[in-house]
Structure 1
Amino acid sequence: MEETARAARRAEAREDASRVLPRIAQLLAPYKRKMMLVALAVVTGAVLSSLAPFLTKAVFDDALFPVDGGSPDLALLGWLVAGLCLIPIVAALIGIGQNYLTSTIGNSAMADLRSRLFAHLQTMELGFFTATKTGAIQSRLANDVSGVRTVLTDTATTILQNAVTVSSALVAMVILSWQLTIITLILMPLFVVIQVRVGRRRQRLARKTQESLSEMTAITEEALSVSGILLAKVFNRAESETLRYREENQRQTHLQVTAAMTGRTFFAMVQTFFAITPAIIYLVSGFMLTGRMDFSGGGALTAGTLVAFTTLQSRLQMPLIQLMRVTLDVQTSLALFRRIFEYLDLEPAIVEREDARPLPDTGQGGHVEFRGVWFRYPPPRLVGVAPRDTDDQDPITEERWTLRDVSLTVEPGRLAAIVGPSGSGKTTMTYLVPRFYDVTEGAVLVDGVDVRDATEHSLATTVGMVTQEPYLFHGTIFANIAYAKAGATPEEVEQAARDANIHDRIMSFAEGYETITGERGYRLSGGEKQRIAIARVFLMNPRVLILDEATSALDTETERLVQDALERATVGRTTIAIAHRLSTIQNADVIFGLEEGRLVEQGTHTELLAKGGLYSRLYVEQFGGGQVEGRFRDGVLFRDGHRVPDHEDHLRADVPL
């Protein structure tokens, strides 16, 4: 069983290398010319380094101790010493240029990878982000990409440089004494086998380490966000959140230590072997010179040859060890590249068709139609896990439907409201219009065009949305409003703010439109954030406006300001509004009642009250039967903070005074 598992891991490692390495090479492809210069610098430096031992041999055998027994040749010695001094100077200058090129190539390739990953994530459908922790995504963008920095910046050059250095040194050693070269390399096959095993273990540890780091990032993002801190303080969970982070941090520490120590024994053994090899060479040389050890075909072993050989041997040690280390780094980084490529290989569920066409500009509100729409949410897309196949399930009889055969029409410029119990599919309907999700059966059309056939740009500029909890990024109020329109002028932003009833409030701040909103807009009240979101809609000027419970959780005065802004925003455009507060949609042109994903009724406020169906039941639950307390203020009846219209006399009875 254990052997089978090992074989599976080896096969997986080979498959990873065969798939990942070519893709890494593609990352470096745009920098071919610079890489050729780097290769030239590496080869030149290696050749220069290999020349030095031969000059050293000449110093001993020809200049200081001539083999013919003559006096030292000082003129030759001067030239040789000059060469020995010049070689490291030239090599150093080449090394500076080489480092600049490798740093430029590696960091540029890493920036390309990070930008490519970010851009690809921008194309993913909404469902991907609802199923994936934000911290996990951030970790792949930051930690995983940073983790491969060394591979992209130094590894290719290091491999080439050390390979050339080792090759040239070996050639020079063979030229000097092939017998001593064999003794030097006798244990290399064993080292290679051990190195491969160590690499596989470090690759597995690298993947676990990054997964743990991803979890730590997710915990940090959740617990230290404004919402997370507020939640922890409200429920006194600061200690448990700290404990959760500490436990994962301890796991991360253990993995880091294990990864750091993996292979240390191996490298200590290699370094020890290379450290004692010169002593072994001296001993073998003694036996060779005394004739006790004979290698047939061996040349004369001189003092200069021995000094040059041991010099090459010492220069062979570090490149070989570095080559083994960088090979381990590559094996370790394969796990990180695999995690990055897992994201890059995800195919967006929502893509623009090749023959997509822009929505027609009608010059008025958009025409919205749901035509026999069935919809169920696809299973969450977990990275590294194949999505569950649902094709074999009957789309009509399968029970887990969010929307069931919904057909309705919203005429241009009309205000349509969708009401129903929680979980009935109201928000899902609004997600289908801008094509956050694709319908499972049927079609959603805007101005007669199936949204699946429309270009993404035209659909995005046609459909605007104000949600219950508007999102404001950490920046100025001006930037948050201007986000809706690239290149918006201050005059346009101010007019949008005036239309949204927020300009005067903005000007009451010390810094006006340059006021920083704080993360998620926490420095502003709910009503202020909502009106800034409405200002965005005014600036965007869409033909279709979706309001998803935009006035819930607001006090009466703020709701009046927001409602007034919304009424102004709906003029001249088609509006689809979701509201639990039925008082806000009584004047809608048409109200659709949704229950358990089915459209059960539609009509005006008066018509639906008369029918006594879903809408009437919801209305009575909010306003009738004394279930919600009512109060008279200056002769006007209010229930749940809302004015009860005079014509609804049947709701004005039994009011506690």
Structure 2
Amino acid sequence: MEPNPHGRDRGPRTVSPAEKAQARQVPLRRVAGLFRPHRASLTVVTAIIVASSVIAMASPFLLRHVIDSALPERDLRLLVWLVLGMIGVAAVTAVLGVVQTWISTRVGQEVMHRLRTEVFTHLQRQSLNFFTRTRTGEVQSRITNDIGGMQSVVTSTATSIASNLTTVVATVAAMVALSWRLSLVSLVILPPAIWLTRRVARLRREITARRQRELADLNVTVEEGLSISGVQLAKTLGTAPALIERFTASSARLVDLELRSELAGRWRMASMTIVFAAVPALIYLGAGLPGTAGTLSIGTLVAFTALQNGLFRPLMMLLNVGVSVTSSLALFARIFEYLDLPVEVAEPAEPVTVDPRRVRGHLRLEEVTYSYPGSDTAAVAGVTLDVPAGTGLALVGETGSGKSTLAALVSRLHDPTSGRITIDGVDLRDMRLADLAAVVGVVSQETYLLHTTVRENLRYARPDATDPEIEAAARAAQIHDVIASLPEGYDTVVGSRGHRFSGGEKQRLAIARTLLRDPRVLILDEATSALDTETERAVQRAFDELAKGRTTITIAHRLSTVRDADQIAVLDHGRIVECGTHDNLLGRNGRYAALAA
């Protein structure tokens, strides 16, 4: 997607399937299922939490004995034991807290790791159709921003619920044991706390969904505006001010959303702080009234108010977990929406065992038809071709005639809508994708180089390739001399998307990368389109030599590069209208002859 050269608003935006997915309810049991493999660890954490909470409840009772017994009676021995007990309780709970944090954080990080990996793996299995209709920045935002936003919830939610719930229950039990009447007064805070929490949770969920969409838009702007191609386009069209304005507006909307989210929580916290501060004051007031004065000891009153104050933090944390989980459901919806995407080009359920080294390369297309999703017109319709092993097939035709689509079907970037494609009699859909990738090599007109060294770019095709093999492939592609002239030779970093190389040099690097794998079927989709005439002749000579014993499919606009092919198929609107050799087709004076004129 190119930057908007005019900087105007894009107008009403169609709601995407991803945004529709955010509106659906995510079952909490599916979120809980993320933790199912870690049940043993979570059981240990829960046991630690319960033990820690129970032990911590001893402190108020020790405090009551200090105030009511040890100090009034000047019992130093008792006072020392009580103080040591209070210190011991603090030490034990602190150690248990460290162990609990270590286990729970490890579990949370493993869940995050698995989630990130599953999303990335599932997206790798998607067909090209998914990536052509999805913004790159959107995909990156899901993996980084959305999963990153879920981290605190995934890492601490389960333990936070267990810890704070146990603490609340233990604290309430201790308060009732001290004075059930005062406990009733203290618990009047629960209804307003729950009501406020539910309102904030709903608000934050809505804001979270909007914030993640805005972050995705921001990522898209960065991708479009700061990539090499985007910067070149912006500089040549003078659209940099418009891009800056668009980025600034998106960032400002994020600021507003973050402020609204934070203020919603702060108003709730302020309200609850006032309520929690008022309850102890009411307790002190009630203890001093004529009707109740003298019925409670000072130690009981101090211990009770200490418990009541201690109830504030775990209760608010428990309610905050509810807010976090509810608001994070928007993030889970976005992630699960990607995980639930159907795989259009899937691994076969029962793959046929294929040894790529033994494949001869006999290619057949039988009544192959393919339509792109959402299109009523077939890009390829009823194509039947027989390409014997070791021969060359050339596909020619006007732009949009279906040549590249046919090549994409042979490399199984798409699956035919009907018909089938076989290599040595095996349907491509019955081969493992890794085996097919080893059998079919593609050099396309669009070359993509990684931001790493020349050597690693070539080795990307075959990680176990030796340096001599890499150099041999580069020589065959007529690019070795160019690489050798670089400052660091094969260890020179190619730059972002290989922009330090010319179009012809990048294409020859891509040719070398593919030849390094020595595929039995080689697809050249306009592979020499960016080369000058002299270089094209040199590369073509290399191809002629390397094509011996290998099945080659060549797509070209320049008919001079395909005249020696064993057979030439002329496509028009997805159908084969002529097929034969160069001389034979010229003699027919048909479509091929018109293209050659």
Of residues 173, 181, 184, the one that matches 1:179 is 181
Deviations 1:467-510 (A, max 9, x none): 01221111111111111113111122122112222222211112
> What is aligned with 2:518?
541
Pairing 1:574-653 to 2, within 5 Å after superposition: 574-620=551-597
Q: Which residue of 1 aligns with 2:9?
A: none
Q: After superposition, where does 1:479-498 map in structure 2 within 5 Å?
A: 479-498=456-475
Task: Name the residue aligned to 1:412.
Answer: 389
2:502 aligned with 1:525, yes or no?
yes
- Relative distance call for 1:220 and 1:291 in structure 2 (3 A) is same
Conservation of the 8 A alpha-carbon contact between 2:22 and 2:209: no
Query: Which residue identity is paired with 1:509?
Result: L
Moved more, 247-256 or 305-314: 247-256
What TM-score comes out, normalization by structure 1 length? 0.85
Residue of structure 2 in register with 1:343 after alignment:
338
Partner-residue secondary structure (3-state), 1:541:
coil
Cα 1:549–1:281 shift into 2, 3 Å: same
1:24 and 1:487 mapped to 2: Cα distance? Answer: 40
Amino acid at match of 2:197: Q
Which residue, 93, 96, 106 being the options, matches 1:94? Answer: 96
Which deviates more, 551-560 or 334-343?
551-560
Q: Tell me which residue corresponds to 2:291.
A: 291
Match for residue 444 of structure 2? 467
1:226 counterpart residue number = 228
Q: Deviations over 1:600-655 (max 9, x none)?
A: 001111222222211111111xxxxxxxxxxxxxxxxxxxxxxxxxxxxxxxxxxx
Map 1:203-282 onto structure 2 (within 5 A). 203-282=205-284
Deviates more, 1:87-96 or 1:307-316: 87-96
Match of 1:134 in 2: 136
User: Measured at CA, do residues 364 and 109 of structure 1 come closer, stay the same or move farther in structure 2, by a change above 3 Å?
Assistant: closer
The 1:482–1:217 alpha-carbon spacing in structure 2 relative to 1, beyond 3 Å, is: same
Report if the CA contact (8 A) 1:531-1:565 is conserved. Answer: no
* In 1: Cα distance, 2:136 partner to 2:434 partner: 26
Superimposed CA distance per residue, residues 48-95 of structure 1 (whole angstroms, 9 cap, x where no aligned partner): 221100001111112123xxxxx3222211111111222212222222
- 1:359 Cα deviation (Å)? 4.2
Task: Answer yes or no: is the 8 Å Cα contact 1:499–1:535 preserved in 2.
Answer: yes
Partner of 2:307: 312
Q: Specify every segment of 5 or more residues in structure 2 that has no aligned partner in the other structure, as ranges.
A: 1-20
What SS is found at the alignment partner of 1:185? helix
**How far did residue 104 of structure 1 move?**
1.6
Q: Are 1:193 and 2:188 an aligned pair?
A: no
Scaled by the length of structure 2, the TM-score of the pair is 0.93
1:446-467: CA deviations, max 9, x gaps?
2122212222222111110000
Task: Work out which of the two has the higher radius of gyration on C-alpha atoms and give 1 or 2.
Answer: 1
**1:16 aligns to 2:25 (yes or no):** yes
Matched, 1:119 2:121: yes
Work out the CA distance in 1 between the residues paired with 2:188 and 2:564: 91
- Kindly provide the amino acid, as one letter, of the partner of residue 191 in structure 1: A
* TM-aligned CA distance change 1:203 to 1:361, over 3 Å: closer
Name the amino acid aligned to 1:155.
T
Deviation at 1:248, TM superposition (A): 1.5
Opposite residue 254 of structure 2, the aligned amino acid is Q
Q: Which has the higher contact order (CA 8 A, sep 6+)?
A: 2
| C-alpha contact 2:507 2:530 (8 A) present in aligned 1 | no
Aligned residue identity for 2:331: L
Deviates more, 1:356-365 or 1:490-499: 356-365
1:40 to 36, 40, 47: 47
Aligned to 1:573: 550
What is the CA distance between 1:548 and its match in structure 2? 0.5
**How far did residue 220 of structure 1 move?**
0.9
Between the aligned partners of 1:583 and 1:245, the Cα distance in structure 2 is 48
- Separation of aligned partners in 2, 1:118 and 1:211: 19
Aligned residue among 373, 397, 401 for 1:424: 401
Using the TM superposition, give the Cα deviation of residue 440 of structure 1 relative to its aligned residue in structure 2, in angstroms: 1.1
SS in 1 for 2:583: helix
Deviation at 1:365, TM superposition (A): 4.6
Instruction: Answer whether contact 2:356 2:438 (CA < 8 A) is retained.
Output: no
CA displacement at 1:25 relative to structure 2: 2.4
Tell me the amino acid that sits aligned with residue 418 of structure 1: L
Secondary structure of the structure 2 residue equivalent to 1:262: helix
Looking at structure 2, the residues matched to 416 and 13 of structure 1 have their Cα atoms a distance apart, in angstroms, of 48
Gaps of 5+ in 1: 1-11, 66-70, 294-298, 380-397, 621-657
Q: Do structure 1's residue 372 and structure 2's residue 338 form an aligned pair?
A: no
**How far apart are residue 292 of structure 1 and its match?**
6.2
CA contact (8 A) 2:504 2:530 kept: no
Partner amino acid, structure 2, of 1:175: A
CA distance in 1, matches of 2:529, 2:65: 91
Identical columns (%) = 44
Residue matched to 2:379 = 402
Rounded to whole Å, the distance in 2 between the matches of 1:133 and 1:402 is 23
Q: In the alignment, residue 117 of structure 1 is paired with which amino acid?
A: V
Query: What is the alpha-carbon root mean square deviation over aligned residues?
Result: 2.0
Give, in angstroms, the shift of residue 279 of structure 1. 0.8
> What SS is found at the alignment partner of 2:35?
helix
Q: Displacement, 1:14?
A: 11
Q: Give aligned pairs, total.
A: 577
Cα deviation for residue 24 of structure 1 reads 2.6
**Which residue among 449, 463, 468 is the counterpart of 2:426?**
449
Relative to structure 2, which stretch is displaced further, 272-281 or 487-496? 487-496
Identify the residue that residue 30 of structure 1 maps to in structure 2: 37
SS in 2 for 1:580: coil
- Equivalent position of 2:13 in the other structure: none
Partner Cα separation in structure 2 for residue 284 and residue 207 of structure 1: 47
Q: What letter matches 2:237 in structure 1?
A: F
Distance 1:362 1:292, change over 3 A: closer
